Amino acid sequence: GNSVTQMEGPVTLSEEAFLTINCTYTATGYPSLFWYVQYPGEGLQLLLKATKADDKGSNKGFEATYRKETTSFHLEKGSVQVSDSAVYFCALRGNYGQNFVFGPGTRLSVLP
Amino acid sequence: EAGVAQSPRYKIIEKRQSVAFWCNPISGHATLYWYQQILGQGPKLLIQFQNNGVVDDSQLPKDRFSAERLKGVDSTLKIQPAKLEDSAVYLCASSLVSAGLNYNEQFFGPGTRLTVL
């Protein structure tokens, strides 16, 4: 079945550092890929998405590129802020209408 | 626009007791989801409703979990009897539609944290 693997956290960075959170997936066909973010005490929010190979999703300075050849969707941000501290979830949705499969989440802490 | 509402936010019960969670989706959203999120893991879909019909409940432990969405709006998720391993955050989400290859963003509620002692 479909699955998502993320780098383990927690990830601790200083403000303005470069962020990469790795995500790889296993799925048949051409799934859609997503990053969700969960801020402390809040529900999950969609951060960005990509629906086909080579698409780049971007939002709030975050980017991720759908790489079918490496089955990856790594999340990057050039300069993190303290307000980016949250848990980040990589997820996929199969292209046969299957429901979402989420990765385990990566906790990011950004120190001032 | 009001978001997805859930209650209660926290619940502590003893094993073998029963518990119910309530979800009010965003107005006009036909699709409603219940997820279980165990500490350190990503959300796992328990059940998906389209209006008041069940679309997918393949991962719902039907011997103890039940859910309903009367009138296609609010939904309740019940656990009876609870086990220690049911300790988790239960998330409700809603979207406009989720049919076939079409994707509509899921909006999540804040969740209900259940502790089973």
Residue pair B76/B23 in contact by the 8 Å Cβ criterion: yes
pLDDT tens, position by position, B12-38: 999 999 999 999 999 999 999 999 999
Q: Which of A22, A24, A19 is nearest to A4 (CA)?
A: A24
Cα–Cα distance, B52 to B39 (Å, whole number): 30
Note whether B42 contacts A97, CB cutoff 8 Å. no
Phi/psi at A58 (5° precision): -150, 150
For residue A101, which amino acid is it? V
**Strand-strand pairing, A106-111 and A11-14:** parallel
Note whether A43 contacts B3, CB cutoff 8 Å. yes
pLDDT tens, position by position, A8-39: 889 999 999 999 999 999 998 889 999 999 99
Site of tokens 């403000």: A15
pLDDT at B104 over 80: no
Cα–Cα distance, B37 to B46 (Å, whole number): 10
CA distances from residue A38 to A5, A89, B69, B78 in whole angstroms, order as listed: 17, 8, 26, 25
As a whole number, the mean pLDDT across chain A is 92
pLDDT confidence band for A91 (50 / 70 / 90): very high
Residue B103 with chain A: CB contacts under 8 Å: 32, 51, 93
Question: Which residue of B21, B101, B104, B107 to mutate against A (max A Cβ within 10 Å)?
Answer: B101
Residue pair B6/B112 in contact by the 8 Å Cβ criterion: yes
| Residue B70 pLDDT | 82
Note whether A102 contacts B110, CB cutoff 8 Å. no
Of B43, B98, B105, the CB nearest to A102: B43
Residue pair B96/B78 in contact by the 8 Å Cβ criterion: no
Residues of A with CB under 8 A from a CB of B: 4, 32, 41-46, 51, 89, 91, 93, 95-97, 99-105
Q: Is the dihedral of CA A53, A54, A55, A61 positive or negative?
A: positive
